[in-house]
Chains A and B, each alone.
Chain A
Amino acid sequence: MTTMAIQNSTEVLAARKEHNEKIAAHTDKARATWFPWLLLGLFVALPLLQFTGNYNYVIHMILFTACYAVMASGWNILGGFTGYISLGHNVFFAVGAYFAGMIYARMGISTIILAPIAGLLAAALGFVIGKITLKVRGPSFIISSLALVMIARILFDNWEFVGGAAGVALPSTDLPVQWAKLPYYYAFVFMAAFTVWVSYKVKHSKFGMGLRAIASDEIKAESAGIDTRLYKALAFALSAFFVGMAGAVWGEYLTYIRPNIYLIILVSVNMVLMCILGGKGTVAGPVIGAIMIVAFNEFFVATLGASELNILASGLVMALALIFFPLGIVGTLAKHNRLPRFLNWD
């Protein structure tokens, strides 16, 4: 009787192994990591169009999308992989912008060069804040992140050195109009590529597995020997790094830094929204979300104009997405095995 069971179980195990290998082979085949590289190549070559006419609008749109993709992919490391929803990540966007912007204004060092340092500063701040706020989870964490924005807003509004509520105007570039956007364009395109690459690497690393274990069940992750406190704080830092880096260059591109541009909740909401729409916790999701949000914004600004209606529309899109597609586009398609290969970057 018992030996029968063992024989059966070896057969079962063999069959299971075969089945798993089939799935693994299928996963390898279904993934299309070449697609982001193709996109990058296209985007690098795209400014050649400027020789044939003025495509500044196209360049601006791609730059804008790339900036959002950096922010959303950064947010995704904490919010998607680790499962801690932060509504306060615009604080790091602001920190990056103010740090690089102030040095740029005073010493003329380009923010593109300063961006990695600004990112590191944001990461250090993120690590410290994470060490404090990641003690709580779920709604408490979300609320604490909201409080963080409120505190930062008051601090920046009253910090005279950085211009208080009026902010600081930054010198604009003296390149001819046709080429003026290109440095920022390349900066954001490469930053986006870098962020997506790091996301991919993180997701498949031991560190990333740890983060995903935390997202699904923190107590079990801890009992499996993962130093959850450290992992979470590192995820927070890494995610703040990218957001801070994006903020640094965005300031110079906009030519001013002001609390009511960086420290409004809509900036954080956009990060959350992009990840939810695209698919939290996937590599391609935030990028697709960024494209969608930029497209939505363009559409609403073009047709509706007023910013109130923009907020209304963002809210509606967010509510509908949460109710009907909580997994986002990538997640929902993947769940039904309908994800086209070129969108599977995991």
Chain B
Amino acid sequence: MSNIIQVLILGLALGGVFSLMGAGLSLVFGVMRIVNLAHPSLIIAGAYIAYWPFKLWGVDPLVMLPVATVIMAAIGVLLYKLVFEREAKSAKYSEMTVLLTFAVAMIVEGALGGMFTNTQRVTSPSYATEAIFIGDIFIPTGQLYAGIISIAIISALALFLKYSRFGNAIRATTQNRDAAQLLGVNVNLVGVVSFAIGIGLAGAAGVLVSFVFAFFPAKHWEWIAILMSLVVLGGMGSILGTVLAAFMLSVVAAFVGAYIGATWSTMTFFLALFIILLVRPQGLFGEKPELA
């Protein structure tokens, strides 16, 4: 029994981090209809922003969280202006943007690899190596912190989207771009800002990732399919759906890892992605097929 609870807790802790990793991806898709395959590579860029100050001067990664968010958001604006803005008129927009984000992922990976080599890195602040014990059950503090911070950030985002004027404009644009524009919303501005928020979230997630997983530039290939599975299962564009999917799949993956074998744990995400796309492409919480 305690074993089952242990696995459940490890799964939930992982789900917290994955939620934040997927949230930005979901937001960008919702508003821009861009399937951003470069998202995981940008998360890794964020992880390096936390890694070097820690390695060189022992700066706590969490201190770098706002810094990484802002830097990555700025990179998001740059990417949007350089690459995606001009594609808005393309007839094959969704397909073109997928290929473009793929190219961006390669550029980011290559640049990071060129600068920092493909060595595995991890930040190890004291809390990352500790654990809280409740009876037999242990909770790794690093993952706990990462999960709590993820949920806090996502809650703040949800409140912003629900109650602020600009947040409403973002939600409106997600649901009906033309209508939002006809009511006076500058959808281009909404696009840039949501893209910046999305990539900023990748930066924040990267900081948390830096002490939860070992990372290296080429690691993002593995995460692409994992994060896509969350976003697709949650119904593309629904942030709440992504969060729920992250917890569900992480728990399932934790059980698969514990009872079938660690290698098959990630397979859970890939198979889930494959099956959901084919059986219910609108995801669990989507109402109509948004991607097909």
Q: Which residues of A contact B (CB under 8 A)?
A: 85, 87, 132-133, 135-140, 142-144, 146-148, 150-151, 154, 157-158, 264-265, 269, 272, 276, 306-316, 318-319, 322-323, 326
Contacts and interface: CB of A to CB of B under 8 A. Distances in A.
Contact of B225 (A140, A150, A157, A313): A150
B281 to A, nearest CB: 5
Contact of B222 (A138, A150, A151, A306): A150
B292 A138 contact: yes
Contacts of A316: 103, 107
9 contacts: A85-B95, A85-B99, A143-B277, A150-B225, A269-B106, A276-B99, A309-B110, A312-B107, A323-B100
A308 B118 contact: yes
Contact of B106 (A133, A144, A146, A314): A314
Contacts of A142: 35, 95, 98-99
Given A139-B291, A143-B35, A312-B110, A318 B217 contact: no
B278 interface: yes
Contact of B277 (A136, A265, A315): A136
Contacts of B107: 312, 315-316, 319
A85 B103 contact: no
B160 to A, nearest CB: 27
Nearest to A311: B110
Interface residues of B, number: 49
Given A147-B273, A269-B106, A306-B114, A322 B100 contact: yes
Interface of B: 35, 37, 83, 86-87, 90, 92, 94-96, 98-100, 102-114, 117-118, 217, 221-222, 224-225, 228-229, 232, 263-264, 266-267, 270-271, 273-274, 277-278, 281, 291-292
Nearest to A268: B102
A146 B228 contact: yes
Q: Return the 10 tightest CB-CB contacts between A and B, nearest first.
A: A312-B110, A315-B106, A308-B113, A315-B107, A311-B110, A318-B103, A319-B103, A140-B291, A150-B270, A139-B35
A312 B111 contact: yes
A323 B217 CA distance: 25
B218 to A, nearest CB: 8
A121 B179 CA distance: 50
A144 B103 contact: no
Contacts of A143: 35, 98, 225, 228, 232, 273, 277
Contacts of A314: 106, 110
A308 B263 contact: no
Contacts of B111: 312
B271 to A, nearest CB: 7
Contacts of A144: 273-274, 277-278
Q: Which among A137, A139, A144 has the highest number of chain B CB atoms within 10 Å?
A: A139
A138 B94 contact: yes
Given A136-B277, A150-B266, A154-B266, 6 more contacts: A139-B35, A139-B95, A140-B277, A147-B225, A308-B112, A319-B103
Q: Which of B86, B105, B113 has the most CB of A within 10 A?
A: B113
A132 B99 contact: no
A311 B109 contact: yes
Nearest to B116: A308
Contact of A138 (B86, B87, B95): B95
A151 B94 contact: no
Contacts of B277: 133, 136, 140, 143-144, 147
A158 B263 contact: yes
B266 A147 contact: no
B100 A140 contact: no
A315 B263 contact: no
Given A146-B228, A319-B104, A140 B113 contact: no
